[in-house]
Amino acid sequence: NAGVTQTPKFQVLKTGQSMTLQCAQDMNHNSMYWYRQDPGMGLRLIYYSASEGTTDKGEVPNGYNVSRLNKREFSLRLESAAPSQTSVYFCATGGLAGGYNEQFFGPGTRLTVL
Amino acid sequence: AQKITQTQPGMFVQEKEAVTLDCTYDTSDQSYGLFWYKQPSSGEMIFLIYQGSYDEQNATEGRYSLNFQKARKSANLVISASQLGDSAMYFCAMREGRDTGFQKLVFGTGTRLLVSP
């Protein structure tokens, strides 16, 4: 079981370029999440998908779009990258573990926008 | 107002000693959950421990325990017998509302722990 996988691991973009961050899970979880982590600010929720076919905005959605392609995959798209989007991006899934719901994180994508 | 506050940017502890990492939270919900995650220098987020707001006993997982003081709205992580491998960033997080399959987590800004030999 791979758990939660993210591609790519690293990416450098120029301002104005677009890209899609991919996330896939084999945990059969319904909910999926995208977070960004900036120095000194912890993780902040960008978008989430409570179940296949639904998506909704989190705390910092501006400049991003998402697609829940199927139960396994949840992608994050930057249409026109800006330096302020330089960050580490984490995908997570939510599911039961030990009697309570927990989030399981992917390894992260480090994005630099020049 | 910050929902999760971690006031210690950095903590130092000697190997084999215990250390407490502080976390206070702010919510008006009666039902909520508190999580601690570890992030080593390699970058992955590792779940450590969970406390539900209705749990009467403090959660424990091996060397980790959560000192849950509901009236004070604090959920401090206690690491006993620190090891060099405990050096990492530690994040406190909260889920507001009931524990359903879907939950949005709010994270604190983290505490960097350094364990010295």
Interval A9-29: pLDDT, tens: 999 999 999 999 999 999 999
Interval A23-80: pLDDT, tens: 999 999 999 999 999 987 889 999 999 989 899 999 999 999 999 989 999 999 999 9
User: Which residues of B are less than 8 Å from A102 in CB distance?
Assistant: 35, 47, 50
- By CB atoms closer than 10 A (0-12, 13-18, 19+), residue A18 is exposed
Q: Which sign, positive or negative, has the C-alpha torsion B92, B95, B100, B104?
A: negative
Indicate the SS3 state at residue B89. Answer: strand
The count of C-alpha atoms lying within 13 angstroms of the C-alpha of A108, restricted to the half-sphere facing its C-beta, is: 18
Q: Does B96 touch chain A if contact means CB atoms closer than 8 Å?
A: no
Does A1 have pLDDT greater than 70?
no
Pick from A45, A101, A105: CB nearest B100 = A101
Q: Residue A10: what pLDDT?
A: 96
d(CA B88, CA B41): 6
For residue A35, what is the enclosing H or E element? strand A31-37
**Token pair belonging to B110:** 């983290």
Q: Does B36 touch chain A if contact means CB atoms closer than 8 Å?
A: no
d(CA A27, CA B101): 13
Left, alpha or beta for A99 (phi > 0: left; psi -120 to 50: alpha)?
left
Indicate the SS3 state at residue B84. Answer: helix
A42 with B109: Cβ contact below 8 A: yes
Interval B31-84: pLDDT, tens: 999 999 999 999 999 999 999 999 989 999 999 999 999 999 999 999 999 999
Interval A103-112: pLDDT, tens: 999 999 999 9
d(CA A106, CA A92): 6
Angle at B72 between CA B67 and CA B78, to 5 degrees: 20
Pick from A41, A103, A108: CB nearest B43 = A108
Determine phi and psi for A112, rounding to 5 degrees: -120, 130
